[in-house]
Amino acid sequence: MIIAVFPGQGSQTPGFLTPWLQLDGAADRLAEYSEWAGVDLTAAGTEWDAERIRDTQVAQPLIVAASLLSWGAVADRDAFAGVAGHSVGEFAAAAAAGVLSEEDALRLVGIRGRAMAEAASAEQTGMSAIIGGDQDAIVARLDELDLTPANYNGAGQLVAAGSLPALQALAADPPAGTRVIPLQVAGAFHTRYMAPAVDALRQAAGAITPADPDRRIWSNRDGASIGSGAEFVDLLVDQVASPVRWDLCMAAFAADDVTGIVELSPAGTLIGLAKRALRGVPGVAVKTPDDLSAAQALLRSVAA
């Protein structure tokens, strides 16, 4: 079983969309995505600097748009038995599985990005990656500091979120055997600080009619495979203020005998985690159109 995975916020880099716009029809598609999301994604993905594309209301639709551009360039998408996304990448996964139309996915993620940016501006908050150490000890330390384990990424990586002073205290006195790395994000995503954004997204999501997925799709809530489109959209809404359990998604991939993983653009992060947590499972990171041939080769290896 080959699956496609879609990355989350922080995977974008300046100019990364430039090679994708050389593909036939890509510029027109990106112009449509920009209109739906309410962001000039062409300029964001080809001209804007790292600080400007770090802005939550830019980064989120930019990442989803890039994922869908690269997904659309894969020749044999029907060969993928399942999809999953990390955080905002779940919107791209929902479109790839037919739960949302591309238009609904981009409109919703535009609203999500703006609402989360507004929520993040209310208090000085952030996120830090914690590498290594014992997970139970790390979670206990976060509880002491009133920080939230926001992303359980697996492969020895957990992301803490909360107030900046508490994150500074964590860095000054980290749990044994860990490294603490501040992340370039604008707020404490997937925590209680994002509750106002949940309300805004829920209202917008109520105006769409999702379809049931046409292939397996796993949820960040607990790694479960979801068969109802309406349920998956409800989980998308709640996930804004809930932890991302990518560790449980990867455990589900192993239990479901996933034999190959293709990460769509802007790729690299999720394949890196899979290499450590799913040893022996081949993976392809589709960073540019030049990587599409490797994705096709992986798909052909299953059909052979």
CA dihedral 94, 100, 104, 107 (to 10 degrees): -10
Q: In this structure, are 79 and 206 located in the same domain? A: yes
Residue type, 68: L
Rounded to whole angstroms, the Cα distance separating 281 from 128 reads 28
Q: In this structure, are 92 and 206 located in the same domain? A: yes
Q: In this structure, are 109 and 31 located in the same domain? A: yes
Confidence of residue 279 (pLDDT cuts 50, 70, 90): very high
Rounded to whole angstroms, the Cα distance separating 216 from 145 reads 38
Q: In this structure, are 87 and 25 located in the same domain? A: yes
Helix (H) or strand (E) holding 84: strand 82-85
In this predicted model, what pLDDT tens digit does every residue of 86-141 receive, in sequence order? 999 999 999 999 999 999 999 999 999 999 999 999 989 999 999 999 999 999 99
Mean pLDDT of the chain: 95
The two three-digit tokens of residue 96, written as one number: 């790839």
Confidence of residue 238 (pLDDT cuts 50, 70, 90): very high
The answer to whether 73 and 23 have CB atoms below 8 angstroms apart is: yes
Full-prediction pTM beyond 0.75? yes
In this predicted model, what pLDDT tens digit does every residue of 14-70 receive, in sequence order? 999 999 999 999 999 999 999 999 999 999 999 999 999 999 999 999 999 999 999
Contacts for 144 with CB less than 8 Å, ≥ 6 apart: none
Residue type, 73: A
Which pLDDT does position 186 carry in this prediction?
80
Helix (H) or strand (E) holding 62: helix 56-73
pLDDT at residue 304 tops 80: no
Containing structural domain, residue 78:
2-120+191-303
Domain count, the chain: 2
Which pLDDT does position 218 carry in this prediction?
98
Which pLDDT does position 155 carry in this prediction?
83
Q: In this structure, are 99 and 246 located in the same domain? A: yes
In this predicted model, what pLDDT tens digit does every residue of 136-190 receive, in sequence order? 999 999 999 999 999 999 988 999 999 999 999 999 999 999 999 998 788 999 9
Residues with catalytic annotation?
87, 190
Q: In this structure, are 105 and 129 located in the same domain? A: no
Q: In this structure, are 41 and 114 located in the same domain? A: yes
CATH classification at residue 177: 3.30.70.250
Q: In this structure, are 78 and 152 located in the same domain? A: no
pLDDT at residue 195 tops 60: yes
Tell me which of 133, 152, 182 is where a domain ends.
Answer: 182
Q: In this structure, are 64 and 10 located in the same domain? A: yes
- Tell me the H-state helices in 151-303: 164-172, 195-205, 229-238, 246-255, 269-277, 292-303
pLDDT at residue 284 tops 80: yes
**Residue 228: Cβ within 10 Å count:** 14
Q: In this structure, are 131 and 237 located in the same domain? A: no
Confidence of residue 303 (pLDDT cuts 50, 70, 90): low
Q: In this structure, are 37 and 137 located in the same domain? A: no
Q: In this structure, are 175 and 147 located in the same domain? A: yes
Which strands, in side-by-side order, build the sheet including 2-6? 216-217, 82-85, 2-6, 260-263, 283-285
Q: What is the gyration radius of the CA atoms in the chain, in angstroms?
A: 18
pLDDT at residue 207 tops 70: yes
Contacts for 231 with CB less than 8 Å, ≥ 6 apart: none
Tell me which of 164, 182, 200 is where a domain ends.
Answer: 182
The answer to whether 286 and 295 have CB atoms below 8 angstroms apart is: yes
Torsion-angle region of residue 15: left (phi > 0), alpha (psi -120 to 50) or beta? left
Tell me which of 135, 160, 182 is where a domain ends.
Answer: 182
CATH classification at residue 109: 3.40.366.10
The answer to whether 5 and 262 have CB atoms below 8 angstroms apart is: yes
